[in-house]
Amino acid sequence: MNISIIKWWWLVFLILALPLLATLLYALSTTWGATILPRGFTLRWMVQLWSDPRFMTALGHSLLICLGALVFSLVLVLPAMFVIAYYFPRLDAVMNVLILMPFAVPPVVSSVGLLQLYSDPPLMLTGTPWILIGCYFTLALPFIYRALANNMQAINMRELIDAAHLLGASTWQAALLVVLPNLRKGAFIAVLLSFSFLIGEFVLANLLVGTRYETLQVYLYNVRNESGHFSSALVISYFLVVLLITWLANALNRERG
Amino acid sequence: MRGKGLALLCLVPFTLFYIAFQVAPLVWIAIHSFYSEMYEAWGWGNYSDILTSTFYRQAMRFSLDISFWSSVWGLLIALAGGYSLHQLGGGRLHRFLMSFTNMTSNFAGVPLAFAFVILLGLNGCVTLLMHKYGLMQTFNLYSADGLIVVYSWFQIPLGILLLYPAFDGLKKEWQESAALLGAGRWHYWRHIGLPILSPALLGTFVILLANALGAYATIYALTTGNFNLVPVRIAALVSGDISLDPNMGSALAMLLVLLMVAITLVHQWLLRRSYQYAGRRS
Amino acid sequence: MSWLNVTRLSKSYGPTMIFQDIDFSASEGEFVTLLGPSGCGKSTLLRCIAGLTPVDGGQILLDGQDIAPLTPQNRAVGMVFQSYALFPNMTVERNVAFGLKMQKLPASAISQRVAEVLELVEMNDYARRYPHQLSGGQCQRVALARSLVTRPRLLLLDEPLSALDARIRRHLRDRIRSIQKELNLTTLFVTHDQEEALVLSDRIVLMDQGRIVQTGNAEALYTQPVNLFAAGFIGHYNLLTAEQAAQLTGETFHRQVALRPESVVFCPSGQGIPAQILGHSLLGNVIRYRVKAKEVELWVDVLNRSVESLHPAGFQVGLLLEPGTLREVA
C-alpha cells in the first residue's frame, strides 16, 4: 500500500511522557533551580521518602481503602448483575442509567451533599475511611459493570445455566459453581481498571476525609510545600507502586490461566 | 417463585448503598439549592444570585472556555496519535504504547500539577528553554492559557482510549477502493474517513468536555483555589472557611449537573446514531 | 501485443514466498480467471496488479505501460472487492460518482455517466439509497457500477460472488459476463469455485502454492489436466494409480491416471468390464454412482433421465471406457 503511516504516535508518546520524565528527573536530582537541566543526581530523596513513617501510613491507607472498596463493590455488584441478567433482564436499562450517574455528577458535586448528610450523628461518616469505601463503590461501578457485562455476554450465561439445570443443579448452585468461576476474567479486569483509577482519587479523599485518614494523594498534596524533590520522589514512587501491583496482578492471573 | 424472591433480596444491598452514596447526596443538593442562606427563604434566590453575579459568571465562562479548548486540542492530538497507533497493528510496541496510554490516564490530578510546575512553571525547564530562545515570554502556567495546556494533556489519553475502537470500524477496503478511484490520502479522509468517524469524534469530544468541566484535583493542586472555575467555587462554598454556604454551593452544583446531564444525553443520542455505520453491510 | 502482460512477478512476506516468477498475459477484452485453492496467491497477485500491495520484482505492462511503479490512484484500474467496500456515508449515486469526482469531471457529465452505468447494472431505482439499505447482491452491483463508471483499462474482481447466496450468485455472474462483453473490458477474475471459472472465462489460469500450474480455456483445462493437482481441482476426476489403471484396462501405464466420471458408460452385464454398483448419490440432474470393477473403485456420472434408470446397490453392470479417456498425469 502506497499510503504511508505518519508516525504521529511518536509525537504523542513524547508529549505524554514529558511530565513523567520531568518528575523522574526532579526526584533524582540534587538541585534543579533556575536551570534547564538538574545539577546533579542522587537517590537521597527516594531514601528519605521510603523511610518516612507518614508516607508508609498513607500508602497503607490508600491500599486498604482501594482494596476494601473493590471487594465491597464486587460483593454488591456480582449478585446484583447476575440477578438482573437472569431474572430481571428489563432492569438492564435501569442499570445503564445508573452507571451514567457518576459520570454526570462529578465528585465535587457529590461531596456537597455527602458532607451535609454524613457529617453529623447518627451517620457520622465523614473523616472516616468508611465514607470513602461507600463513595468509591459508586465511582468504580461503571468500570466494574462494563467489564462484567462483557464477560457475561461472552460466556453465554443463560445457556450455561440451562445446561447446569439439565444436569440437576439449582439456579443458585449453577450461579456459584458454574457462572462465578467463569466471571473471573471480567472481575479481574474490572478490579485492575478500577484500582488504578481509585488510588489516584483526590477530590473525595480530601474533601470528605482529609488528614484524618490520610491517603497517598492527600499526603502528596499536604507535603507539596516542603520540597519539590521530595514531592517528585513521592509521585514517582506512587507511580511505581501502581505499576508493580498491576504487573503482579497480571502475572498472577496469567499463571492461573 | 421462591427463587425470584431471593433474587430480589440480592438487589437490596446494592440498591441501598447506591442510593446512600450516589442518589441521596444529589437529592439533598437538589432540594437545598432552593433555600437561600442570605434571604433565609425558599425559592430561586440562589440561582438568580449566581446568574447575576459577575464573579460566578466569570467562573462559568472560564470553565466553559478551558473545557472547550482543552477538549478540542485533546481530541485532535488523540485523533492523530490514536489512528497512528491503530495502524501499528499488533506487536510489542503497540501493546506497550497502549499500556502506557492507560497508565498516563491515571496521572491526572495532584501529580500532574507538580509535573507541569516542573516543566512550565515560573522556573520550569521548558519555560527557561523557551526564554533562552526568546519564545513565549508571556506564557503563564497559572493563567487560562496555561490551564488549557495542562487540561489538554490529560484529555489526550482519555481521547485515545475512547476513539480507539472507532478506528476498527474504518475498513481497509474503503481506503483501497478510494485509492483505485483516484483519491489520495487527503481526499479519502475528507470524503470518507472523517465523515464515518464523525459520530465517534463528536461523542468523544462531548465526554472530554464533561471530563474537563468536572475536573477539580488538578486545578486545586495547581492554584489552591485561587483560579476562578466552577468546581473550585463549589468546593469553596462547601468547605471553605470564609465563604461557607452549602446551599449556594448546591445551586451552583445543580447548574453544573444540568450541563453534564445535557452532555450525557447528547452523547447517548450520538451513540445510537453511530449504530447506523457499525455492524452494517457496506 | 497483449493488453496486459505480467512478467516475472514475485512477492514474499519475509521468509514466506507468496508467488514467484509469475508470467501470464491477457488480450484486450479477454475474461481471464485466476483459479486456485485458498492460499495459492491469486488474491495477492490481483492486489499487486491493482497496486494495493507492492511487488518485490517483475513488470506489469498494461497497454504497453509498466504500471508496477505507479500508485493505485494512477493505474486506471477498477476493482470489485468480496466485501463490496461501498462507502457507508454516501448514497448509491454518490458512491458511483466518487471516481468521476476525483477525476474532476463537471457535475453534468458526472450525473449523466452515473445514470448510464446504474442503468447498466439495473440499479437506477436505488440511486438515493444508502448501502445499509441494500441487499448483498444489490451492493455488489453498485460496487461493479462504481468501478466501471471511470472507464478503467482493466477490471479486477476479487471473489465478488463468494459472499452471496447461490441464486443471486448465478444471476449476477451472468450479468457481469454480459456487461464485460458489451464493454469489451479486459477482466481478471479471482475465484476458488471451479464452476464459476468454467462458465465465465475465456481463459483460466490455474494456480497452486504461488505457481501457475496450467493456462488455457475451459475445455482444455477440463479435458486435459496437466498434472495430479489440476486433475484433482477441476471436475470430479477419478484418480487411479498406474497399477489400478493397468488392472482395470489391461494396458500399461507409468504414472497416475485421471479418468472423468462421465466418460464411463454403463452397458448390460456381460459386456465390457464387469462391475458392481456399490451405491449412488443424487446430485440433481446427475446421478453419481460408486462402482467397483476388478477391485478398483470408481465414480461414474450418469444423466438423471428417469427414475427407472436408477440402479440399486449390488446391481451388476458392464463398463465401457472410451479410448483416450484415461489420461496420464504426473
Q: What 3-state DSSP class applies to C24? A: strand
What single string gives the DSSP state of each residue in chain B? -HHHHHHHHHHHHHHHHHIIIIIHHHHHHHHHTTEETTTTEESSHHHHHHHH-HHHHHHHHHHHHHHHHHHHHHHHHHHHHHHHHHHT-SSHHHHHHHHHHHHHTT-TTHHHHHHHHHHHSTT-HHHHHHHHTT--TT--TTSHHHHHHHHHHHHHHHHHHHHHHHHHTS-HHHHHHHHHTT--HHHHIIIIIHHHHHHHHHHHHHHHHHHHHT--HHHHHHHTT-S--HHHHHHHHHH-SSS--HHHHHHHHHHHHHHHHHHHHHHHHHHHHHTTTTT---
Using CA atoms, how far apart are residues C202 and A101, in angstroms rounded to an integer?
66
CB-based contact B182:C99 (threshold 8 Å):
yes
CB contact under 8 A, A1 and C53: yes
**Rounded to an integer, what is the distance from CA C167 to the centroid of its chain?**
17
Interface of C with B in 230-269 (CB under 8 A): none
CB contact under 8 A, B180 and C73: yes
Strand bridging mode C316-321 / C296-303: unpaired
CB-based contact B187:C156 (threshold 8 Å):
no
pLDDT at C66: 92
CB contact under 8 A, B234 and A112: yes
All residues of chain C having their beta carbon less than 8 Å from the beta carbon of residue B185 are: none
CB contact under 8 A, C132 and B178: no
Interface of B with C in 241-270 (CB under 8 A): none
Give how far A171 is from chain B: nearest CA, Å: 8
Higher pLDDT, B138 or C40: C40
Instruction: pLDDT tens for chain A, 257 residues: list them.
Output: 333 456 788 888 999 999 998 888 888 887 777 667 777 788 888 888 888 899 999 999 999 999 999 999 999 999 899 888 888 888 888 888 888 888 889 999 999 889 888 887 777 787 788 899 999 999 999 889 988 888 888 888 888 888 888 888 888 888 888 888 888 888 888 888 888 889 989 999 988 888 888 998 999 988 888 888 888 888 888 888 888 888 887 777 766 54
pLDDT less than 70: residues of chain C: 1, 330
At which residue does the C-alpha cell 457518576 appear? A102
B197: nearest Cα among B248, B205, C265, B149: B205
What single string gives the DSSP state of each residue in C171-182? HHHHHHHHHHHH
Helix residue ranges, H only, chain C: 42-50, 92-102, 107-120, 136-148, 166-183, 194-200, 218-223, 228-233, 242-249
pLDDT tens, residue by residue, A178-225: 888 888 888 888 888 888 889 989 999 988 888 888 998 999 988 888
Does C73 lie at the interface with B, CB-CB under 8 angstroms?
yes
Does B182 lie at the interface with C, CB-CB under 8 angstroms?
yes
Give how far C147 is from chain A: nearest CA, Å: 19
Give how far B204 is from chain A: nearest CA, Å: 14
Q: Which residues pair with C319 in a beta bridge?
A: C266, C273
Phi and psi, residue C20, nearest 5°: -145, 135
CB contact under 8 A, B17 and A76: yes
All residues of chain C having their beta carbon less than 8 Å from the beta carbon of residue A1 are: 52-54
- Give the nearest partner residue to C132 out of B173, B183, B282, using CB atoms: B282
pLDDT at B65: 94
Give how far B276 is from chain C: nearest CA, Å: 8
pLDDT at B148: 95
What is the residue type of A65? Answer: I
Give how far C47 is from chain A: nearest CA, Å: 10
CA angle at A55 for the pair A51 and A60, rounded to the nearest 5°: 115
Residue A112 cell numbers, joined = 456537597
CB contact under 8 A, A36 and B21: no
All residues of chain B having their beta carbon less than 8 Å from the beta carbon of residue A49 are: none
Q: How many contacts does A have with B, using Cβ atoms within 8 A? A: 244
C91: nearest Cα among C128, C61, C54: C128
Determine the straight-line distance between the first and last CA of chain C, rounded to whole angstroms. Answer: 33
How would you class B248 by CB atoms within 10 Å of its CB: exposed for 0-12, middle for 13-18, buried for 19 or more? buried
Q: Put the strands of the sheet holding C154-158 in their side by side order.
A: C77-80, C154-158, C187-191, C31-35, C203-208, C211-216
Q: Which residues pair with C267 in a beta bridge?
A: C318
What single string gives the DSSP state of each residue in A100-143? THHHHS-HHHHHHHHHHHHSSTTS--TTSHHHHHHHHHHHHHHH
Determine the straight-line distance between the first and last CA of chain A, rounded to whole angstroms. Answer: 39
What single string gives the DSSP state of each residue in B43-54? SSHHHHHHHH-H
CB contact under 8 A, B180 and C77: yes
CA angle at B271 for the pair A185 and C140, rounded to the nearest 5°: 95
Using CA atoms, how far apart are residues C247 and C278, in angstroms rounded to an integer?
19
Helix H or strand E encompassing A182: helix A180-182
**Rounded to an integer, what is the distance from CA C163 to the centroid of its chain?**
15
Those residues of chain C whose CB sits closer than 8 Å to some CB in chain A are 51-54, 71-72
Q: In chain B, whose CA is at the least distance from the CA of A210?
A: B239
Residue A7 cell numbers, joined = 508516525
pLDDT at A241: 87
All residues of chain A having their beta carbon less than 8 Å from the beta carbon of residue C71 are: 2
CB contact under 8 A, A7 and B84: yes
Give how far A189 is from chain B: nearest CA, Å: 13
- Give the nearest partner residue to C85 out of B177, B182, B280, using CB atoms: B177
All residues of chain C having their beta carbon less than 8 Å from the beta carbon of residue B278 are: none
Using CA atoms, how far apart are residues C144 and C99, in angstroms rounded to an integer?
12
Q: Which chains form contacts with chain B, at 3 or more CB pairs under 8 Å?
A: A, C
- Secondary structure tally for chain C: helices H, strands E: 9, 18
The residues near B3 (Cβ < 8 Å, ≥ 6 apart) are A87, A171, A172
CA angle at C14 for the pair C8 and C17, rounded to the nearest 5°: 40
Interface mutation target, options C44, C77, C101, C102, chain B, most CBs of B under 10 Å: C102
Q: In chain C, whose CA is at the least distance from the CA of B179?
A: C73
Q: How confident is the model at residue B282 (pLDDT cuts 50, 70, 90)?
A: very low
Strand bridging mode C286-293 / C296-303: antiparallel
Residue A44 cell numbers, joined = 537521597
Q: Which chains form contacts with chain A, at 3 or more CB pairs under 8 Å?
A: B, C
**For helices B144-168 and B194-213, what crossing angle results, to 10°?**
140
- Give the nearest partner residue to B156 out of A12, A34, A88, using CB atoms: A12
Q: How confident is the model at residue B216 (pLDDT cuts 50, 70, 90)?
A: very high
All residues of chain A having their beta carbon less than 8 Å from the beta carbon of residue B17 are: 76, 134, 137
Does C2 lie at the interface with B, CB-CB under 8 angstroms?
no
Q: How many contacts does A have with C, using Cβ atoms within 8 A? A: 7
Higher pLDDT, B124 or B29: B29
User: Within 13 Å and on the Cβ side, how many CA atoms surround B213?
Assistant: 27
- Give the nearest partner residue to A9 out of B7, B88, B234, using CB atoms: B88
Instruction: Please list the helix, strand and coil fractions of chain C in percent, rounded to the nearest 5, in that order.
Output: 30, 30, 35
Residue A238 cell numbers, joined = 506512587
| Cα–Cα distances in angstroms (integers) from residue C104 to residues B183, B265, C107, C155, in the given order | 11, 41, 9, 21
pLDDT at B243: 74
Give how far A3 is from chain C: nearest CA, Å: 9
Interface mutation target, options B67, B110, B180, B204, chain A, most CBs of A under 10 Å: B110
Sign of CA dihedral C158, C159, C161, C164: negative
pLDDT at A3: 39
Determine the straight-line distance between the first and last CA of chain B, rounded to whole angstroms. Answer: 47
CA angle at B158 for the pair B156 and B161, rounded to the nearest 5°: 110
What single string gives the DSSP state of each residue in A46-75? HHHHHT-HHHHHHHHHHHHHHHHHHHHHHH
Interface of C with B in 8-67 (CB under 8 A): 50-52
pLDDT at C161: 93
pLDDT at B279: 44
Using CA atoms, how far apart are residues A101 and B113, in angstroms rounded to an integer?
27
Helix H or strand E encompassing A166: helix A157-166
**Rounded to an integer, what is the distance from CA B223 to the centroid of its chain?**
19
Using CA atoms, how far apart are residues C3 and C77, in angstroms rounded to an integer?
13
Give how far B18 is from chain A: nearest CA, Å: 7
All residues of chain B having their beta carbon less than 8 Å from the beta carbon of residue C97 are: none
Give how far B177 is from chain C: nearest CA, Å: 7
Q: Which chains form contacts with chain C, at 3 or more CB pairs under 8 Å?
A: A, B
The residues near B52 (Cβ < 8 Å, ≥ 6 apart) are none
| Cα–Cα distances in angstroms (integers) from residue B268 to residues A36, A99, B160, B207, C93, in the given order | 47, 13, 19, 11, 31
Kindly report the number of other CB atoms within 10 A of residue B254's CB atom: 21
